[in-house]
Amino acid sequence: MLASFYILPLDKGESLSEDVSEIVLLAMQSGLKYRIGAMETTIEGDPDPVWSLLRRCHEGMRARSSRVLTQITIDDRQNALDRMEGKIRSIESHIRDKKGIKKE
């Protein structure tokens, strides 16, 4: 399962990086494969540990803020492994295949 998520405290003003970094630390310490992006964090693993981490992250931010916005996107594909890198490789392969094609 892949899960991309962001969790934002709504009462912290413009700069959120300090609060968000505390949540990213939970992902880093989880033992799950993760990737930090500019706008969200993606984790990969079996469903139970992924859901557990998402809940801990939400609750961790909620402990820091009186109001929290959590957005989660799940890609749950049966028998799919290494999708975090595999999805990117697949797109890059299609781009390479199309580089030589000229529009008429």
* 31-44 per-position pLDDT tens digit: 999 999 999 999 99
Q: What tokens does 68 get? A: 């929290």
Ranges of each domain in the chain: 2-98
Decide: 57 and 71 in contact? Cβ < 8 Å: no
pLDDT at 101 (0 to 100) = 59
Contacts of 36 (CB under 8 A, 6+ apart): 24, 27
Confidence of residue 85 (pLDDT cuts 50, 70, 90): confident
Query: Taking 90 as the threshold, does the pLDDT of residue 20 lie above it?
Result: yes
User: Among 3.30.70.930, 1.10.357.10, 3.40.50.740, 1.10.10.10, what is the CATH number of 2-98?
Assistant: 3.30.70.930
